[in-house]
C-alpha cells in the first residue's frame, strides 16, 4: 500500500510539472507575434515611487510608458505622496493585492521595503528596482545610475571648480541607498585624490527645497570658509541655490546638484549652480518595463520560475550619467 501511494505521488508530481511547463511554454509563445514581442492591453505593469509629484519621476515614467507602448501592454503609476516609508509600504501592498504582471519600484528605504518586495516575488509577481535599491530583497534586477561613481564624478568636478582645495559640504538623504552611495563616492574621492579638500559637514535635506535651503543656510553660517556644496538630489539643489543667494555668496560657493529638473537647469543658466549630474532616467523606466515583460512571460534564460542559481537578468544595470554645465545646459531642457 505504501509503495502504491509513493507511485501515485510521483505520478501527480510529474503531471503538475508537465502542466506548469506547458503553461510556461504557452505564455512564452503567446508573447511572440509576427514582427516581434507583443503582450495584451489587459497585461498591466505598475511603477511605484515615493513623493509621486516630483518632476524627477516624469522622464522615468515616460520611458516606462514608451516600453509599454512598444510591447502593447498597459502601465500604471502609483506612489506615496510624501517622503514617508510607511505610506510607500501601504501603496506597494495595495498594488500587490491587484496582482499586476510586474512591479517596477524605487525603494524609499533600502531595508524597510525588503519584506514587502519579497512578498510580491513570493506571490509570483516579478519586481525590478530602479533608482533606489533594496539590495537584501529578492527583486530580480536593479537599474540605476552607478551612484558611487556619480559621487566620484561630482568630487572630481568640485575639485576642478575649487582648484583642488577648500572646505565643502554635503546635503543628502541618509538611509536611502542611492544617496548614501553618492555621498560615499564623493567623500572617499576627496580623501583619496584631493587631500587639500575636506568635508566640513553633512546635513539632511529630506528631498525638500525649503528643508535643504535651511540646512544650507545653517551650514554657510557655521562654516564661513565653505567653498562648495554637493547636493545628492534635485529639489535640494534649488534650496541650496536660494540659500547661497540669500547669503550673498553667488559665485563664491560652488554648487553641484543632481538631476535635470527645470529649476536646476535655470540656476545653471544664471550661474548660481555650477553643475549637475544628469542621470539616464528614461533608460531606467524603459528597461524596467522590458525586464518585467520578459520575466512575466518566462522569456529569460534560465526562466525565473525554475529554481536556477543563475540570475535570469543582469542583477545590476548602470543607466549612465553626464555632467551638465552652463556650456551644455540648453541640451537638457525638455524639447
Residue 278's H or E segment, with its range, is strand 275-279
Give the tens place of pLDDT for each residue, 1-53.
555 555 445 545 444 444 444 444 445 555 655 556 888 889 999 999 998 98
pLDDT tens string for the chain (335 positions)? 555 555 445 545 444 444 444 444 445 555 655 556 888 889 999 999 998 988 889 999 999 999 999 999 999 999 999 989 999 999 999 999 999 999 999 999 889 999 999 999 999 999 999 998 899 999 999 999 999 999 999 999 999 999 999 999 999 998 888 899 999 999 999 999 999 999 999 999 988 999 999 999 999 999 999 999 999 998 899 999 999 999 999 999 999 999 999 999 999 999 999 999 999 999 999 999 999 999 999 998 887 776 677 889 999 999 999 999 999 999 998 76
Residues 6 or more apart in contact with residue 70 via CB below 8 angstroms = none
Average pLDDT, the chain: 90
Q: Which of 236, 174, 170, 233 is nearest to 197 (CA)?
A: 170
- For 217-226, the CB contacts below 8 A with 24+ separation are 217/243, 217/246, 217/247, 219/169, 219/171, 220/244, 220/247, 220/249, 220/253, 221/247, 223/167, 223/169, 225/166, 225/167, 226/166, 226/167, 226/168, 226/169, 226/200, 226/253
Q: What is the pTM of this model?
A: 0.74
Supply 100's cell numbers. Answer: 499586476
Give the tens place of pLDDT for each residue, 288-311.
999 999 999 999 888 777 667 788
CA distance 204 to 195: 25
| Ordered domains of the chain (ranges, CATH) | 44-145+281-319 (3.40.50.2300), 147-278 (3.40.50.2300)
pLDDT score recorded for residue 5: 52
Amino acid at each position: 500500500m505504501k509503495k502504491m501511494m509513493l507511485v501515485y505521488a510521483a505520478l501527480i508530481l510529474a503531471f503538475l510539472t508537465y502542466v506548469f511547463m506547458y503553461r510556461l511554454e504557452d505564455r512564452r509563445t503567446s508573447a511572440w507575434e509576427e514582427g516581434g514581442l507583443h503582450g495584451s492591453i489587459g497585461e498591466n505593469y505598475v511603477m511605484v515611487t515615493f513623493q509621486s509629484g516630483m518632476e524627477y519621476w516624469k522622464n522615468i515614467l515616460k520611458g516606462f510608458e514608451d516600453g509599454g507602448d512598444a510591447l502593447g501592454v498597459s502601465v500604471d503609476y502609483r506612489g506615496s505622496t510624501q517622503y514617508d516609508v510607511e505610506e510607500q509600504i501601504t501603496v506597494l501592498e495595495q498594488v500587490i493585492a491587484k496582482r499586476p504582471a510586474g512591479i517596477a519600484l524605487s525603494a524609499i528605504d533600502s531595508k524597510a521595503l525588503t519584506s514587502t518586495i519579497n512578498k510580491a516575488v513570493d506571490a509570483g509577481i516579478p519586481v525590478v528596482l530602479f533608482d533606489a535599491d533594496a539590495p537584501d530583497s529578492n527583486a530580480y534586477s536593479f537599474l540605476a545610475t552607478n551612484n558611487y561613481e556619480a559621487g566620484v564624478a561630482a568630487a572630481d568636478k568640485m575639485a576642478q571648480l575649487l582648484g583642488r582645495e577648500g572646505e565643502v559640504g554635503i546635503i543628502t538623504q541618509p538611509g536611502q541607498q542611492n544617496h548614501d552611495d553618492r555621498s560615499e563616492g564623493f567623500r572617499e574621492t576627496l580623501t583619496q585624490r584631493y587631500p587639500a579638500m575636506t568635508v566640513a559637514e553633512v546635513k539632511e535635506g529630506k528631498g525638500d527645497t525649503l528643508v535643504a535651503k535651511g540646512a544650507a543656510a545653517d551650514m554657510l553660517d557655521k562654516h564661513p570658509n565653505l567653498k562648495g556644496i554637493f547636493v545628492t538630489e534635485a529639489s535640494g539643489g534649488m534650496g541650496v541655490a536660494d540659500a547661497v543667494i540669500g547669503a550673498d555668496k553667488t559665485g563664491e560657493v560652488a554648487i553641484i546638484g543632481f538631476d535635470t529638473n527645470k529649476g536646476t537647469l535655470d540656476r545653471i543658466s544664471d550661474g548660481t549652480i555650477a553643475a549637475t549630474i544628469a542621470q539616464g532616467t528614461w533608460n531606467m523606466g524603459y528597461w524596467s518595463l522590458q525586464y518585467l515583460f520578459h520575466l512575466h512571460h518566462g522569456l529569460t534564460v534560465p526562466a525565473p520560475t525554475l529554481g536556477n542559481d543563475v540570475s535570469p537578468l543582469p542583477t545590476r544595470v548602470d543607466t549612465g550619467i553626464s555632467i551638465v554645465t552652463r556650456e551644455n545646459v540648453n541640451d537638457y531642457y525638455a524639447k
